[in-house]
Every structure is written in structure tokens, then in C-alpha cells.
Structure 1
Amino acid sequence: MRVKFRNYNADNYITLILIHIGMAFALHFFRPIGKLIFIGVFLYFFLKIILVPNQEKVRMVLLGCAYFVGAEVLFRMTKSGLSYEASKYLVILFTLMGIFYRGVSGKGYPYFIYLILLVPAIVVASITLTFDASFRTNIAFVLSGPVCLGIASLFCYDRKVPQKTVLEVLNYMMLPIITTTCYLFLYTPSIKDVLTSTASNSATSGGFGPNQVATVLGLGMFTLVVRLFLRSPGTILKVINLILFGAMTFRAFVTFSRGGVIAAVIVVAAFLWVLFWKSNHHQKNQILVSFFLFVIAALSTWMISSQQTGGLLDKRYANEDALGREKEDVATGRLDLFMEEMEGFVEHPFFGLGASRTKNMRVEAGIGHLPSHNEIGRLLSEHGIMGIITLLILIFAPLSYRSTNKKNIFFYAFLAFWFATINHSGMRIAAPSFIYALALLNVTYEKKPPVYRKQLK
């Protein structure tokens, strides 16, 4: 039995899962321990980046960023971070450390231009933001995500990493999301007791924003699918990963926030499509078996979720209210916000309204502190023509890189996650920024040693 367990736990996978489930219990029953966990994890990765050999620094930077990307919503939910935007700042810090030690590719110059193009909106904001608006806080809130994306992209652009490192990065991203999932079960063990409508529900989201929770759970669903198809050689590992996937999907469903779930479906589809067509005949047969198990798990989770919510989940995805009446706005107010931002672009097409000005205007109008849900709309309204140029860079720079380097099987999945997420949740969390940057990695694969056969005479 010991040998078998060692095989299943070859990269300490099961041990790490148990540790992160234990973290959920610790956070639920003794909330103050969260800050100690945050500081401990930060010091671990910070010192590791400094102390590891030079050839290991890229790997350690990516792992540190991945962990805080996965843990960001958990730390916000439990108020464990040292600041609300801490994970974005740490991704910036770690990637800057990586740039200091390993430099950047000269081919990544579009992202230098991208970062420079963000500056005019700050200058305009210094003029347009009202006196009672905190200039530093507002600017940091809307630009921390874009800056995080730019610096992470500079670090990752054409950076050679083996595929096993990318899989390890996704694994480190997934572990704190397992903690988040377990914490949600502890926070709201009974779903039926807190559901009254088909609207997004903070009670089923750990008392936090359903949109962010669903987004990070959707990311966790994707990482588990990757693990299921690429790193689950035995039946036991497949069962473990399917159970984790089912638990994570269930919690994503019951947030009643559709954006994160739909994004997960798009990203998983993009990954499986590329994986299937890049595989040989034998691998395709294995993929089909795993896909069959995956579909059964997904359908079973939907039926359980539907039963637990008394059918409200079906109505939510059919865009109906609790009484079965069709809702007028399928975008739940996001379209109105986007149209407001387009009006801002039309009125100020050259330099835009200035960073964070759209949210500031909503406060002035008495609507409240409504941040943008769509990063494209925000870029255009607050940055004007500069926003159009930055958007073109973000879309065409990775596609141009892909035309000369087609080895990264995760490329379209990573890019799809970024694009889907910024269109329903903006860049409130670090995940879309960092995962966009991962699409720019130069992924390498281990070459199998040649097999020499003695010729028959």
C-alpha cells in the first residue's frame, strides 16, 4: 500500500490537498489565523525567489504568483490580506523580482508601449476626479489590474519553461481554490435555507461578492480539468479530481453568478479542443474515456445543484425570476453600464474621462460605487484613443506571437479566460492579468530518448 500511495502522491498532491482543506477549517473556526497564513505564504515565496539557484527563479516566480492568484478571493473573503489589492501587488512584486534576476525579452516591447499608454489617463484623472474622491485609492483600484497584466506579460513573454512547470503553476493556483471551496461549505452548509430568488447570492458566496467567487471557482474548475486529463494516471486520482471538480462546480453554480461558470465552460472547451487534436490515436482514446467521466460528473453536479436549489438554478440560467417570469435584462444591468461608458468615449474620444472617472460619475449621480464590469468599456471611456490602442496590443500581440510559436497547448484556453473574464468582471482580481501573461510563455516539452533497435541480418 505504501508504494501505491507514493505513486499517487508523487508531487505531494494528496498531502497538499489535505493541508489546504485543513486551512479552510482553521479560517472558519479561527479567523485571525488568516493574516498569519498570508504573511507566512508571502515570506515563503519571497525568500524562495531570492535564495533558489538562478535556473529555478523563473519557476519560483510563477509558482508564487499562481498561489496568490488562486488565494486572492479567499484572502479578501476572510479579510486575511494586508490590503484589498494585495494579490495584484504581489504578482507585480514577484514578476519584477523575476525581471531583475532574469531580464526580459526584447520582443516583448508591445507591453512597454502598453504600460506607457496607461499614463495619460492618470494625468487626466488628476484634473477630472472630484475633490472628495481619493485619488490614490481610485487610481490603484482601476489600474492595478492593467499594470499587473503589463508587467507579468513582460516577464513571461517568450520565456522558456517546460510543460511540467506550467502544470505545476496550475496546481499551485488550484490548491487555495480548494480551500475556498471547503470554506464555502463550512460557511453555508445548507443552500436551501438562504435562497429566496434567482439573483446572485452573497450568502452562498462566503458573504462576499458572488461574481468574484464564481470567477475564481471557474478558474479552479479549469485547473482540475487539466489535472484530470494530464496528471491523473490511476483510477484513484481520477476519482479524487472528479470529486473536487464536482464540489467546486456545485459551489460555483449556487453563487447564482453565471459569468464565472460560462467562462469556465469556454476555457475548458478551448483546452480540450486543442488537446484532442494535438494528441495521437492512443492518447485520443484516453482523452475520450476521461471526457466521458468528466461529462457524467458535470451532469450529476448540475442535477444535484438543481435539486438543492429547488429548481431556482434552472430558472437562473433560463433568465427567469423565482416565479418563472422571463427577465428583461439578461446582462443584469451590465449593458446599461457599458452603454454609459460608450457615451463617455463618444464625449471624450481622445484622452478619455480619466482613470476611475466613470465610477466617480456614478457616485455623483447618486447611483452608488458601481465599478465597471467590462474592461473594454472602461478602457474606451477612461482612456479614449489610447484605450483602443491598448486593446489592439492586448489582442494582437499574443496572436502574433502564436503565429511563430504554436507549442503552448494552453494558449487559447488562457487567452479565452482573460477575454471572457474582463467582459463580465473587469479586472477586479489578478487572475485574468496573470493568466493572460501565461499565454505568452514559450512552453517546451521533454524529448524522449531515441530507441535503438538491433537490425536483423
Structure 2
Amino acid sequence: MFNYISNNRLFFIVAHLIIGYLATFDVFAKPFGFTTIIVGILVVLFTSNKNEEAFKASCYIVGVGVFARMISGFPTYEAGKYAIMIFLILGVFVGEVKQKFSLSFVFYLLLLLLGIVLTEVPVGESIRKAIAFNLTGPFLLGISALYFFKRVMTIEQVYQGLFIMLLPLFSLVTYLYFVTPNLEDIIFGGGANFDTSGGFGPNQVATAIGIGIFIIAINILTKRKITGFIALDIIFLMYFIYRGLLTFSRGGILTGAAAILVFAFFYILNQKASFKLLVRYSGVTIFALIGIWLYTSNVTGGMLYNRYAGKNALGVKKKDITSGRALLLQEQMSSFIYNPMGIGVGNGKYKRELSEKSVTAASHNEIGRLLEEHGLIGLILLILLLFIPLENIWFSNNYQRAFLISFYVFWFFTINHSAMRIAFSGFVYALSLIKIQISEDD
């Protein structure tokens, strides 16, 4: 099935553009979301995961996650994360490859559960929802890491998985096109914009678009055609960047850019590209980006510059350019110092509300959340996560590192602005653990 998709790329891209339009009708959402999960399970079971169907089905759910949330397509908010865990667990049990589990990640999962012991929520709040909201992401990371740890995958499988992840992102940007009001009627300010994000969280939408930008960009760089036509690939890349900038959410776009730079650096090192070629690539890229930036800034009345410069609508520099994230992280560090054993999963938000802190939002920084809610155990978990992929990266060549380090960077930057809100965060971390086989042609 996935090979058929890969061999008929333009057809499936067009199909997903149509899906983006159909999603504007409420009757379409639930059947679509339900179908993606059921089909994924059936494909893994019927193929016995012979060609990494569990990985590819998971890639699709990772890509469709934010889109499905936007249109209320999943039966529950965290259904996408549960589905990926089911795919990967099934892939282990029915697959022919005998996976070698890492004791470090078994240990990681067990330590995560200890944080539940201290969990308390105010009367009227759901302890199940508090735990699910904060732990499904980290738990997905653990399950994904167990599946992918030193798992051998070909370079073609990696590219195919990324293409499958990209498909529902075409639906997402198409949906945004149809539901976004006339830009002339939108009042752009110094904050993230819900109108240009389909009425959904701009942070998650921008992160999803940033993933799409990364996937299209690295395919162009490595001369692999997404649509079959390089000119069309470039047009799609420019449109993704444009839609991402319009969200006025910086984290996802800057993270995608950072991952592209990392990939390009190691890929060019591997190719031993000439300085002339490097200058040509850089010149074309910079020229295109300036054009997109100027156009987007113009349609937003110049507010795009203010947003990325950390200024408000009047052009005055904000005291906190992180939209409250820095203050929240500071409070989490203080909580860790005063409660080194942690305050329990999901308790951070409620503790801040009771103490009448100026910032009461749920954590957008997974590092701060781990330390505040899990205490010293969270510190151990963080150290494990930071250092385990480094061995795999060290013993890889530069082409492999282009993927592995960009995945690692994508994970680290994403958890610092969006915690583990979406499935991508934990899943992309696990991809930094795979062993990539490079063919002679590459």
C-alpha cells in the first residue's frame, strides 16, 4: 500500500488537497479521523510489518495529528498518540525483525509512572485528563524509542516515511486557505494569530507547517522530487513558508529552519560540495526567502516584522519576547528547587493558579515540566534523553548525521516552545535512534 502511494505521489498529493477542502464540512471530520486509525491497524496486521508499515502508518498519524485536532476528527484529543503507540506495539509483535529493547527506555517509562503518585487536582477537575495531557507525549516517546532503538532502516524507507508524513500537511494548508478570512479583514498585532491558524492553536499549526517545510526542503536539496516536478515542489515550499509566517507563531517556523540548516550542513559535508555550489544554493534560498518575507509582511501591514522582532503592534519592544514562556520556566525552576521530589504530574498549572501567579498556563516547555512535576527523577529522565542519541550520531557518517541530528534538533527545540503537545515531538526524537543504511547511489 505505502509503496503504491510513493509511486503515485502527485495523485495522492492532489487527493490530500481535496481532503483539505472536504474538511471544511463537519460531516467529513469524524469518519476521516476514524478511518486513518483503523486503516493503519489493518495494514500493520495484514502485512506483518514486513516493510516497516508500522513506521509509515505512524508517520501518517504524526502528520495528520494537528489537522485532525483542528477539524475535531479524532474521537479524543490524544487519540493520535494512542494510535501511534498501537501501531508500533503491533509492529513489534507481528513483525519479523526481532527488536532489541533498550533497558534505558524501559527504565525511562517506569520512572515516568512514578510522577503519577503525587498527582492531585482541584475538585471538579479530571485527574485522568491531567495525566493524559501531560504524559501521553512522553510515554509515546518511550514506546517509539523502544521500537526505533538501533533499528536498521534504509534511506529509502526514511524518505518514504517523511513523504507519508507530509501528505496530510497538504490537507492542513489547504484547509487553512478555505477557512481563513480575507486577510484585509484581519487585525494583525504582536501576538500569534488564531484567524490565520484555522481558529486552532497557532503554536501547533506553525509546528506542523514547519515539519512540512523541512520535508519539502530536504527533498529539494537532495534532488528528490516530491511531486515529480521541481518547479511545483518549490511553489509548494514557498506556500508552506507563507502560511507558516501568517500564523505569527515563531517557534515552529524557526525550529523547522534550524533543522533544515543542520541537515544542509551535514549533507553538503557528505557530498563534498564545492564552494561555488554552496554559494548558488545559498543565494537562491536567500533571494526566495526575502521575497516571501516582504510579500507576507506587506499583506500583514508590516506586523510580521514586529512579531519576529519581539515588538507589539505599536512597534515598541516587548519586555518578554517569549510570550510568557521565560517567566513560566523561571517559576518552574523555582518550584523544582523548593520541591526537589516533584509536585506530581499535571499539578504545575493548578499550583500556579492557587498561588495567584501572573502566569498560570500549562507548561510549554517539557524540560521545565519534567523538573517541576517529576523533580530529581525528571532530571534523570532529561539526562537520559539528551545523551542516549549521541552514541548513534557519533558512529554515523555525515549523510546519516544530516537526518539524525536534524531529528534531534527538531525534538529539542520543539519541546522548548510546545512541550509534548503533539505526537511529532516524541516520535521525531525516536527517529534519531535508528540505524540508516545508505545505498551506493546516495
Q: Shorter-chain TM-score category?
A: over 0.9
TM-superposed CA distance for 1:409, in Å, is: 3.0
* Kept in 1: contact 2:219–2:225 (CA 8 A): no
1:108 is aligned to 102
Residue 15 (1) aligns with residue 11 (2): yes
Q: Residues 225-280 of structure 1: CA distance to partner in whole angstroms, max 9, x if unpaired?
A: 12212243699722111111111111111111111111111111111011100114
TM-superposed CA distance for 1:408, in Å, is: 4.6
2:371 is aligned to 380
Amino acid of the residue matched to residue 93 of structure 1?
A: I
Residue 325 (1) aligns with residue 319 (2): no
Q: In the comparison of the two structures, how many residue pairs are matched?
A: 434
2:35 is aligned to 40
1:357 is aligned to 347
Amino acid of the residue matched to residue 362 of structure 2?
A: P
2:286 is aligned to 295
TM-superposed CA distance for 1:402, in Å, is: 2.2
Q: Give, in whole Å, the separation in 1 of the partners of 2:257 and 2:287.
A: 15
* Kept in 2: contact 1:408–1:443 (CA 8 A): no
TM-superposed CA distance for 1:19, in Å, is: 0.4
* Kept in 2: contact 1:345–1:352 (CA 8 A): yes
SS of aligned partner of 1:207: coil
SS of aligned partner of 2:436: strand
Q: Give, in whole Å, the separation in 1 of the partners of 2:277 and 2:10.
A: 23
Q: Residues 313-335 of structure 1: CA distance to partner in whole angstroms, max 9, x if unpaired?
A: 01111111111111111111111
Residue 212 (1) aligns with residue 212 (2): no
Counterpart of 1:199 (choices 191, 197, 217) is 191
TM-superposed CA distance for 1:297, in Å, is: 2.8
Q: Give, in whole Å, the separation in 2 of the partners of 1:78 and 1:251.
A: 18
Amino acid of the residue matched to residue 387 of structure 2?
A: F
TM-superposed CA distance for 1:117, in Å, is: 1.0
TM-superposed CA distance for 1:339, in Å, is: 1.3
Residue 226 (1) aligns with residue 222 (2): no
2:56 is aligned to 63
Residue 92 (1) aligns with residue 85 (2): yes
Q: Give, in whole Å, the separation in 2 of the partners of 1:163 and 1:236.
A: 19
Counterpart of 2:432 (choices 439, 443, 446) is 439
Counterpart of 2:45 (choices 27, 50, 57) is 50
Any gaps of 5 or more consecutive residues in structure 2? Answer: none
Cα distance, 1:54–1:63 mapped onto 2, change above 3 Å: closer
Cα distance, 1:309–1:62 mapped onto 2, change above 3 Å: same
SS of aligned partner of 2:199: coil
Amino acid of the residue matched to residue 103 of structure 2?
A: Y
Cα distance, 1:271–1:344 mapped onto 2, change above 3 Å: same
Q: Give, in whole Å, the separation in 1 of the partners of 2:129 and 2:111.
A: 20
1:268 is aligned to 260
TM-superposed CA distance for 1:290, in Å, is: 5.0
Mean alpha-carbon deviation: is it higher for 132-141 or for 289-298?
A: 289-298
Counterpart of 1:412 (choices 405, 408, 420) is 405
Q: Give, in whole Å, the separation in 2 of the partners of 1:218 and 1:119.
A: 31
Amino acid of the residue matched to residue 106 of structure 2?
A: F
TM-superposed CA distance for 1:100, in Å, is: 1.6
1:244-263 equivalent positions in 2, closer than 5 A: 244-263=236-255
Amino acid of the residue matched to residue 286 of structure 2?
A: V
2:231 is aligned to 239
Amino acid of the residue matched to residue 389 of structure 2?
A: P
Structure 2 length normalisation: TM-score? Answer: 0.93
1:5 is aligned to none
SS of aligned partner of 1:409: helix
Q: Residues 100-126 of structure 1: CA distance to partner in whole angstroms, max 9, x if unpaired?
A: 23466446221111111112100111x
TM-superposed CA distance for 1:291, in Å, is: 4.8
Q: Give, in whole Å, the separation in 2 of the partners of 1:180 and 1:203.
A: 14
Q: Give, in whole Å, the separation in 2 of the partners of 1:137 and 1:264.
A: 30
SS of aligned partner of 1:324: coil
Q: Give, in whole Å, the separation in 1 of the partners of 2:278 and 2:29.
A: 39
Counterpart of 1:311 (choices 299, 302, 309) is 302
Residue 175 (1) aligns with residue 160 (2): no
1:142 is aligned to 134
Cα distance, 1:233–1:133 mapped onto 2, change above 3 Å: closer
SS of aligned partner of 1:55: coil
1:453 is aligned to none
TM-superposed CA distance for 1:99, in Å, is: 2.0
Cα distance, 1:55–1:120 mapped onto 2, change above 3 Å: same
Residue 395 (1) aligns with residue 395 (2): no
Cα distance, 1:95–1:257 mapped onto 2, change above 3 Å: same
**Alignment RMSD:** 2.2
Mean alpha-carbon deviation: is it higher for 320-329 or for 192-201?
A: 192-201
1:120 is aligned to 114
* Kept in 2: contact 1:422–1:432 (CA 8 A): yes
Cα distance, 1:51–1:162 mapped onto 2, change above 3 Å: same
Cα distance, 1:355–1:314 mapped onto 2, change above 3 Å: same
Cα distance, 1:123–1:64 mapped onto 2, change above 3 Å: same
Mean alpha-carbon deviation: is it higher for 36-45 or for 83-92?
A: 36-45
Amino acid of the residue matched to residue 204 of structure 1?
A: T
Structure 1 length normalisation: TM-score? Answer: 0.90
Any gaps of 5 or more consecutive residues in structure 1? Answer: 1-8, 450-457
* Kept in 2: contact 1:88–1:144 (CA 8 A): yes
Counterpart of 1:27 (choices 19, 23, 29) is 23
* Kept in 1: contact 2:138–2:426 (CA 8 A): yes
Residue 166 (1) aligns with residue 162 (2): no
